[in-house]
Amino acid sequence: MSASHPYPAGWYRFRYSHELARGRLVAGRFFGKPLVGFRTERGSAHVFDAHCRHLGAHFADGRVVGDELRCGFHGWRYDTEGQCTQIPFTDTIPNDARVKAYPVRERNGTVWFWHDSTGAAPGFEIPDVPEMNSADWKRGPIHREVVRAHIREPRENAVDVAHGPILHGKSFPLTPGTMAEVRGWEEDAERKQLRFELVNSIGPASRAREVVLRFELVGPGHLVMRSDLPIEMLYFVPNTPVDDERIVFTVATWVKRSKLPFVDSALVRLAMFNFLRGLREDYVIFDKKRYLNDPLLSDADGPIARMRRWLSQFDPRPLP
């Protein structure tokens, strides 16, 4: 990994929705910048640069008052657009009294903010994922950790089929002599979505069977994976860069409600355990690797170059 590639523009997870209660203010550090997120008393979520325009206090030392953010140092108040609306003991507000408010969307149980290092406006939207908004499904365990990796690494890793038997050979029961196949590649150029299937063959050669993991990406920051094994479930993997070197890697699970909730929750925990065991093997590599802009690919590699081309559309371009 190295800082050789810019941050792709897109929607990124700030927090899960349930972590940002009404009137709550939380600090975050993403894209090398201190940020704050808050939810107004009326219920809308917002993400700002963290430092007050006045004398630079961190908003985490302030609080939410009604639908505004009040700095804890001298009490300047900002509306949800980041515009200062009130300064104690004066009626005059300096012209430049505003802070950066990022575009925010709340979808799929998640507070998203739009990041484009050129400052360009959102170029696409996050669609509703049916399972994550259905009463027939419920949220299972969530995992999160900070991992040393460029934001591109985990996306490329999904289609990097040649590393499966070598790196994950012990933790995943791949049929000997096989590696995964990527099938059904489908790009939606307008909505910035990408779908494909990762098909593994598991078990001994005599009784091999296919296991399919269905991927759905929306921009660089939103990824959903659907699986039927061991039960019908969904992995939600919205990664956000912390800085040039690290990302917050989170995995949330959703599972279809059934008549046997205890069995389901045990199976989801087992699926998550296996998933994380595989991821940890990747993390070991990510931790010391460099991100090469010019890798030397061979015929054995999966569609890594194709994934890179898809991701490249989100590289920031200077505004015309």
- Give the nearest distance from C-beta 169 to Fe ion in angstroms: 11
Task: Report the Cα–Cα distance between both ends of the chain, in Å, rounded.
Answer: 31
Site size for ligand FES (CB under 6 A): 10
Partner in contact with 282, chosen from ligand FES, Fe ion, none, beta carbon below 5 to 8 Å by kind: Fe ion
DSSP assignment of 54-76: TT--BGGGSEEETTEEE-TTT--
**In degrees rounded to 5, what are phi and psi of residue 88?**
-55, 140
Closer Cβ to Fe ion, 124 or 283, answer by number: 283
What is the contact mask toward Fe ion in residues 156 to 175, using x (rule: CB under 5 A)?
-x------------------
Q: Is 261 exposed, middle or buried, given 0-12, 13-18 or 19+ CB atoms closer than 10 A?
A: exposed
Cβ nearer to ligand FES, comparing 70 with 150:
70
> Scanning residues 127 to 186, which ones bind ligand FES (CB under 6 A)?
none
State the DSSP code for 140.
Answer: E
Tell me whether residue 77 or residue 168 sits nearer to Fe ion (CB atom): 168
> Which helix (H) or strand (E) segment is 263 a member of?
helix 261-288
Contacts of 40 (CB under 8 A, 6+ apart): 22, 23, 46, 64, 66, 67, 68, 80
What is d(CA 106, CA 122) in angstroms, rounded to the nearest whole number? 14
* Contact pick of 227, 282, 303, 304 for Fe ion (by CB under 5 A): 282
H-helix segments, 113-260: 152-159, 164-167
- Least separation in angstroms between residue 257's CB and ligand FES is 47
CA–CA dist 50, 57 (Å, integer): 8
Residue 52 interaction partner, one of Fe ion, ligand FES, none, beta carbon < 5-8 Å per kind: ligand FES
Backbone angles phi, psi at 281, to 5 degrees: -65, -40
Q: Footprint of ligand FES on residues 19-78 (CB under 6 A)? A: 52, 54-57, 71, 73-76
Give the residue at shortest CB distance from Fe ion. 282
For residue 71, the minimal CB distance to ligand FES (Å) is: 3
Say which entry of ligand FES, Fe ion, none residue 64 contacts (CB below 5 to 8 A, set by partner kind): none
For binding to Fe ion (CB under 5 A), which residues are involved?
157, 282
For binding to ligand FES (CB under 6 A), which residues are involved?
52, 54-57, 71, 73-76
